[in-house]
Amino acid sequence: MAAVTTGPARPARPAARRLARTLALNLAAVAAGLAGWALLAGTGLQGLPGPAEVAGRAGELLADGTLLDDTLASLRRVLTGFALGTLTAVPVGFLMGWYPTARALLEPYVQFFRTIPPLALIPLAIVLMGIGEVPKVFVIFLAAFLSSVVAAFQGVVDVDVTLVDAARVLGAGDRAIFLRVVIPAAAPFILVGMRIGLGSAWGTLVAAELIAAQEGLGFRMQQAQLYYDLPTIFVGLITIGVLGLAMDRLLQLAERRLTRWQERR
């Protein structure tokens, strides 16, 4: 019986190699950052805690449930404000981009409020909405909305006119053009706007939790500041960074899946 010969082994797919290389570089960067942090802490710079001390404090906060409760409280506020901001920004951006009348009516307000930091509205939010959860979520919502609405608007404005004209020649109506041409073409802009909005939401969290909060990562960091508890502050910072990074990676994954038709480097 003749021996069955097999062809040469297939080389690893370029995408898989790129992913492995990226992960290796990410791990190397984390290791280098931890080593640099440990070296700085070893010099006694301004009482800077080292990685081991911060890890020990994180273990204590996890053991008594404080870190989990604070994380869940902050996640709830960020996700609520981010979701509301994005869900509002996308239709408003589409209206501004598709209808010149809507653009003329809404753009001055959008550009006006973009120049005002959401944190500057905290005193007004407290006066009008009290000190409950509503003003906290509102400030986060505003940060996410203002970051996302311009991206959605720009996505509609930048749709190739040739595609729209070709669809009209083929007999497509406004509704079909909007659903089959405009939305897919604007999707990359929307997803980039969502990533920026997510970063703005996390960036606003600590200040939002100044509003009479009783739990949350920002609240815990502010309490730790009063007692010069640097390890707890570092635990809060790292937790916010890790959560923000994980959520950003999820949005990147969604972006790749929804925009596979795009050419990538």
pLDDT of residue 262: 60
pLDDT of residue 12: 47
pLDDT of residue 176: 76
Of the ranges 36-45, 118-127, 135-144, the best mean pLDDT one: 135-144
- CATH 3.40.50.300 assigned to 56-258: no
Residue 2 has pLDDT above 60, yes or no: no
- pLDDT band with cut points at 50, 70 and 90 for residue 85: very high
Domain ranges of the chain: 56-258
* Residue carrying the six token digits 């999820």: 250
pLDDT of residue 235: 93
Residue 5 has pLDDT above 60, yes or no: no
- Inter-residue long-range contacts of 97-105, CB under 8 Å, 24+ positions, other chains counted: 97/152, 97/153, 97/154, 97/155, 97/156, 97/157, 97/186, 98/156, 98/178, 98/182, 103/153
- Of residues 121 and 47, the one with the higher pLDDT is 121
Q: What is the pLDDT of residues 11-61, one digit of tens each?
A: 446 767 877 888 888 889 888 988 888 888 888 777 788 888 899 999 999
- Of residues 257 and 229, the one with the higher pLDDT is 229
Task: Read off the pTM.
Answer: 0.80
Q: What is the pLDDT of residues 183-195, one digit of tens each?
A: 788 888 888 888 8
Instruction: State the burial class of residue 25 (Cβ atoms within 10 Å of its Cβ: 0-12, 13-18, 19+).
Output: exposed
Q: What integer is the mean pLDDT of 212-216?
A: 82
125 in Cβ contact with 140 (< 8 Å) = no
Residue 1 has pLDDT above 50, yes or no: no
Give the rounded percent of residues in the chain with a pLDDT score beyond 70: 92
pLDDT of residue 168: 77
- Inter-residue long-range contacts of 260-264, CB under 8 Å, 24+ positions, other chains counted: 261/184, 262/188
Please report, as a single letter, which amino acid is at residue 26. Answer: N
